[in-house]
């Protein structure tokens, strides 16, 4: 599969790092879940501006492609100006790149913490790992939890979230998804394996923001097998309007 910079699969989704084996059942898991969901529903994509640095690596046979894209989200700007493409491979974008970027925005799924509330629409089991962290695991996921380009593979994926309870406001510090079986996409492509991870940090105002996303997708397109790895860094967070 060739690298396609502007597909949401490469720009928005995210590689599982195995958890340590769970040790015990999580105490008061239902109460913790309710606090997490209630808190997440107060967080929107309009809360913080940030810069994204997207690094992709695509491998198809003996061919390898790499690229770096930098853009910025600012919800304080007018609707059609909130995303700004800053550079591609260290250079200012040309007219064709800007056109493709703007066209892809219609399909982009905004990365923000509030989405985690939706995962709990499905049943979750809970446990405490060897480091004392509470883990919620989802054997099934709601629709549109895991999107690869325009394809929803949530029905063929599982998830787990790692909760930070060290402070007065518990929040999910890490979300992980992994596919459970191959998924056909638009007849010409197949995703054999997909793993993704997103990490969050709690800001001074008590609202978490994404700080890193990684993903790896292995599959084939038109009979050619390949792998795409993506790493996204979210930096320069600033409260909207400040």
Overall average pLDDT of the 193-210 stretch: 97
Q: What is the mean pLDDT of residues 230-239?
A: 97
Task: For residue range 141-179, list pLDDT tens digits in order.
Answer: 999 999 987 789 999 999 999 999 989 999 999 999 999
Q: How many helices (H) and strands (E) does the chain have?
A: 4, 14
Hey, is 219 helix, strand or coil? Answer: strand
**Four-residue CA torsion sign, 31, 139, 111, 128:** positive
Q: Indicate if the pLDDT at residue 99 is higher than 60.
A: yes
Which of 14-23, 100-109, 186-195 is predicted least confidently? 14-23
pLDDT value, residue 109 = 85
Per-residue confidence (pLDDT) for residue 36, from 0 to 100 = 97
Average of pLDDT values for 199-210?
97
pLDDT tens across 25-62, in order?
A: 566 899 999 999 999 999 999 999 999 999 999 998 88
Report pLDDT for 25. 52
Mean pLDDT computed over every residue of the chain: 88
**Lookup result for tokens 């040309």:** 94
- What is the β-pairing status of strands 157-164 and 171-179? antiparallel
Q: How far apart are CA 127 and CA 12, in angstroms?
A: 29
Which residues are CB-contacts of 96 (< 8 A; sequence separation ≥ 6)? none
CA R_g for the chain: 18
Q: Is the per-residue pLDDT at 228 higher than 90?
A: yes
Report percent pLDDT > 90 for the chain: 72
The pTM assigned to this predicted structure is 0.86
> pLDDT (tens digit, 9 = 90+) per residue, 56-90?
999 988 889 999 999 999 999 999 999 999 999 99
- Structure tokens given for 188: 């010409």
Residue 14 pLDDT exceeds 70: no
Beta-carbon contacts of residue 14 (< 8 Å; ≥ 6 apart)? 177, 196, 197, 198, 213, 214, 215, 230, 232
């Amino acid at each position: 599969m060739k690298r396609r910079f502007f597909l949401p699969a490469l720009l928005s989704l995210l590689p599982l790092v195995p958890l340590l084996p769970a040790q015990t059942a999580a105490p008061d898991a239902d109460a913790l879940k309710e606090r997490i969901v209630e808190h997440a529903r107060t967080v929107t994509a309009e809360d913080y501006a940030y810069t994204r640095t997207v690094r992709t690596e695509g491998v198809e046979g003996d061919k390898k492609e790499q690229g770096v894209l930098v853009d910025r989200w600012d919800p304080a700007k007018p609707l059609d100006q909130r995303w700004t493409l800053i550079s591609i491979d260290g250079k200012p974008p040309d007219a064709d790149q800007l056109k493709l970027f703007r066209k892809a925005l219609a399909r982009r799924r905004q990365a923000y913490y509030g989405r985690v509330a939706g995962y709990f629409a499905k049943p979750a089991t809970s446990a405490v790992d060897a480091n004392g962290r509470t883990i919620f695991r989802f054997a099934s996921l709601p629709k549109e939890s895991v999107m690869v380009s325009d394809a929803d593979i949530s029905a063929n994926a599982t998830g787990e979230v790692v909760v930070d309870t060290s402070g007065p406001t518990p929040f999910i510090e890490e979300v992980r998804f992994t596919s459970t079986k191959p998924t056909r996409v638009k007849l010409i492509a197949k995703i054999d394996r997909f793993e993704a991870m997103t990490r969050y940090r709690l800001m001074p105002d008590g609202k978490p923001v994404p700080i890193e996303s990684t993903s790896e997708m292995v599959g084939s397109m038109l009979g050619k097998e390949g792998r795409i790895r993506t790493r996204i860094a979210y930096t320069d967070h600033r409260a909207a309007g400040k």
